[in-house]
Amino acid sequence: MTSGSEPRSRGPEAGAGQGRGRHVVLGVSGSIAAYKAPALVRLLRRAGHEVRVVPTAAALRFIGAPALAAVSAHPVSTGLFDDPQAVEHVAVGQWAELVLVAPASADLLARLAAGRADDLLTATVLTTTAPVVLAPAMHTQMWLNPATVDNVATLRRRGLRVIDPASGPLTGADSGVGRLPEPEDVVAQALDLLGGPAGSDAGAEGGEDLRGRHVVVSAGGTREPLDPVRFLGNRSSGRQGVALAAAAARAGARVTLVAAYVGQDVLADLPAQVGVRQVGTAVEMEAAVRQAAAQADAVVMAAAVADYRPARAQATKIKKHTLPRGDVPEGGGERPAEEPPPVITLVENPDVLAGLVQDPPRAGLVVMGFAAETGDEDGDVLAHGAAKARRKGAHLLAVNAVGENLGFGDVPNAVVVLDAQGHEVARARGSKQQVAQALVGLLARYLPGRS
């Protein structure tokens, strides 16, 4: 067993966002799912946290201490007597701001429920005052056994959070409940305990973080007219932007909402003190946002701004056969070759967000954007988000996965916040209101101090 040493001083790993890294102890017990421990460490570190791994002796039959030490960049110790002078069972528990045990075997749950302290992990759980999250992984029959059921109930009664295991194929030929949930899910649920009510590590406490600040929020979808009755638009409801404006106002900021199309029912959720400027098109949005930003500390671009607009908006209603005709489609299309299809020519709209970054209307302006992404053959959601973060250069970019009923409509959101280099700085999940509160807390920490 590798000898442990005094835990390192506080501070995030390289690449962590804005000094917000927390100390996380990852306990690993004897289950085949222990092989997922390095993935858990990587996710925690990528979120900016410093991680010490404390495996049980049984865990080391499934995963080697050198691998755990390498991914965590910390020595790994298991026993109480590896380095007695360091009084590790107390030191590690005190160092921890969060203890996550994943996987937690049936045996470990039993030992914790009994209050045992016969190795470094159980002793750490007994000494720590930090929140403790247990992610069980075991065979279905062990999970459903009344002994385990009682142990889980005991631990939950004492305030430890026990994550429900997932269902699916088990180690043997059978399948059922008892699998360790996906590492992303385990980490997200664990980090919920580090944040405020938003269930995030973005750090919003809902306090008066923004008193004396002016925040501009854009919301809704722009409408790009074709003629007096028709437009090119999108499905944005404006709810996320309205929730952000409301959260910023609750945090004490003076708030200007630049609203493209937002339903009246959604606007009804706005606190009365939020000033609203209604706009229609992307060009109008750019002018209104830049004007308001000239007196602001921060701009949050939550609006769905159309990338293109029709080159010509006609003053009178377009008649069916008066649109310009394009080329004849290959193969002739559905119409005879002598009748080419109607064409709408588009021109590019300004990128409001990128413009605010490249040419800020006020020095020190902090800019936050949003990116709704889907994964494709060129990369996953985060890869696309990171590329967009680098391309646009906003201080913060909140990325959410869309499709498969994620992120659209009135369903819970999960966002990963990236900095201008595409590095992850925070995660937030929950309702749009909870996500908004978390993001506003994060924004407050990015604002330069007042002199």
CA proximity to 165, closest of 144, 150, 151:
144
23: β partners: 50
Specify whether 413 is catalytic: no
Burial of 337 (0-12, 13-18, 19+ CB in 10 A): exposed
Helix 120-127, helix 106-113: angle, nearest 10? 40
Reading the block at residue 169, the tokens are 């194929």
112: β partners: none
Using the rule CB under 6 A, is 352 a contact of ligand CTP? Answer: yes
Nearer to ligand CTP, 24 or 262 (CB): 262
Written as one letter, the residue type at 37 is A
276 neighbors 257 (Cβ within 8 angstroms): yes
Using the rule CB under 6 A, is 351 a contact of ligand CTP? Answer: yes
Q: Which region among 8-16, 96-104, 297-305, 433-441 touches ligand CTP (by CB under 6 A)?
A: 297-305
Using the rule CB under 6 A, is 371 a contact of ligand CTP? Answer: yes
In whole angstroms, how close is the CB of 388 to ligand CTP at the nearest point? Answer: 6
Give the other-Cβ count within 10 Å of 13's Cβ: 16
Nearer to ligand CTP, 29 or 349 (CB): 349
Nearer to ligand CTP, 41 or 301 (CB): 301
Q: Which region among 123-131, 163-171, 176-184, 368-376 touches ligand CTP (by CB under 6 A)?
A: 368-376
Of 305, 401, 428, 444, which one interacts with ligand CTP (CB under 6 A)? 305
Using the rule CB under 6 A, is 386 a contact of ligand CTP? Answer: no
Q: Which region among 116-124, 164-172, 236-244, 299-307 touches ligand CTP (by CB under 6 A)?
A: 299-307
Using the rule CB under 6 A, is 435 a contact of ligand CTP? Answer: no
Burial of 423 (0-12, 13-18, 19+ CB in 10 A): middle
Nearer to ligand CTP, 194 or 396 (CB): 396
Contact residues for 9 (Cβ-Cβ < 8 A; gap 6+): none
Q: Which region among 113-121, 128-136, 180-188, 346-354 touches ligand CTP (by CB under 6 A)?
A: 346-354
Contact residues for 155 (Cβ-Cβ < 8 A; gap 6+): 109, 112, 113, 134, 162
Binding site residues, ligand CTP, CB under 6 A: 282, 301, 303, 305, 307, 349, 351-353, 369-372
Active site residues: 234
